[in-house]
Amino acid sequence: MAKKKVKKLAKVKEIKGQLGKKKETAREKMIGQSIGYRYDVNLLPDYSKITPFLKKYIEAMGWDDLNWLEDVHMGYEEDRPAVFCRNANGWVTIPSSIKLPNNQQDRDMIARELLVKFQMSPKHPLVDLKKAYLKF
């Protein structure tokens, strides 16, 4: 009888400092909630990773660099990649159709591009508010 080939399941290695994961502190375990940011908010952008869309945006605004987008990073909302929209005061989750690189600098550039698209979209939640409450 031929031996059955047993497929070996690849072990999922947990990488130290994996994106979006960090060791919980005793305090966090106790309260069941993360304290502070789950990504480096002070990470300076790597301009070699800038996307063509962001280049066009900077040029259109007349700025010299990413300006306010330097503070935009890809974070997490309920363990899903997301970017925080300060205008809507909420997390915008990244659609699962978008493949994200395992590199924070590249992910940040994608987050910046998607955030600009979201904020300038006529479907942005503030558009309705503006229509309803604009005074002058």
Partner 1 sequence: MANIKTSEKKTKSQAMGMHTEVLTGRTQQKFFNPDEAENFYYFGTYDVDFNKRTDLDVKDMTAAEANKKIDGLMSEGYGTIVIKNPQGKHSLGVGILNKLNLIFEGSLGYFGIGSCDGPIVRINGRVGWSCAENLMAGKVVIEKNAGSCFGAAIRGGDLICKGSVGARTGIDMKGGTIIIGGDAGAFTGFMMQRGRIIILGDVGINLGDSMYDGTIFVGGEIGSYGSDAVDAELTSSDQDWLRRKLKVAEIGANFDLSKMKKIVAGKKLWNYDNLEPTEKKGAI
Q: Cβ(94)–Cβ(80) under 8 Å?
A: yes
Give the integer Cα–Cα distance in Å for 34 and 120: 31
Q: Which stretch binds partner 1 (CB under 8 A): 1-9, 11-19, 72-80?
A: 72-80
How many Å apart are CA 84 and CA 54, to the nearest integer? Answer: 17
DSSP 92-127: EEPPTTS---S-HHHHHHHHHHHHHHHHTSTTSHHH
Report the C-alpha gap between 117 and 124 in whole angstroms: 9
- Judged by CB under 8 A, the residue of 97, 99, 133, 135 near partner 1 is 97
**Range in contact with partner 1 (rule: CB under 8 A) among 2-10, 11-19, 62-70:** 62-70
Nearer to partner 1, 18 or 34 (CB): 34
Residue 16 or 136: the one with the smaller Cβ distance to partner 1 is 136
Under the rule (CB under 8 A), what is the footprint of partner 1?
27, 29-38, 41-42, 44, 47, 53, 56-57, 60-65, 67-71, 75-78, 82, 84-86, 88-93, 95, 97-98, 114, 116-127, 130, 134, 136
